[in-house]
Amino acid sequence: MKARLTITLKSGVLDPQGRAIQAALGGLGFDGVGDVRAGKVIELELAEGTPPETIDAMCRQLLANTVMENYRVELL
């Protein structure tokens, strides 16, 4: 069983990495680049039948800082 977790900063939280990417793209001559938000994607191999609550607990305890980040779980 495989799960993909996408962890992104909540809107309103300053994203310095995104700002740096935006500036660098502009510096390379790419026009029309607006807001850039950077985040993490984590793909996990899990034992069959791992309940969604367990994946949620993994996110809340370790993988996402729920104060500043949102996470999305996709079962692949």
State the residues that interact with its own copies by CB under 8 A.
6, 8, 18, 21, 24-25, 28, 30-47, 50, 54, 57-58, 61-63
What own/partner pairs with CB < 8 Å and gap ≥ 24 does 25-30 have?
none
Identify which of residues 53 and 67 has a Cβ nearer to its own copies in the complex.
53
Minimum CB separation from its own copies for residue 66, in Å?
A: 15
Q: Count CA atoms closer than 13 A to 3's CA, side-chain side.
A: 20
Closest CA to 5 of 51, 37, 39, 48: 39
Identify which of residues 10 and 43 has a Cβ nearer to its own copies in the complex.
43
Q: Tell me the residue length of the chain.
A: 76
Identify which of residues 13 and 41 has a Cβ nearer to its own copies in the complex.
41
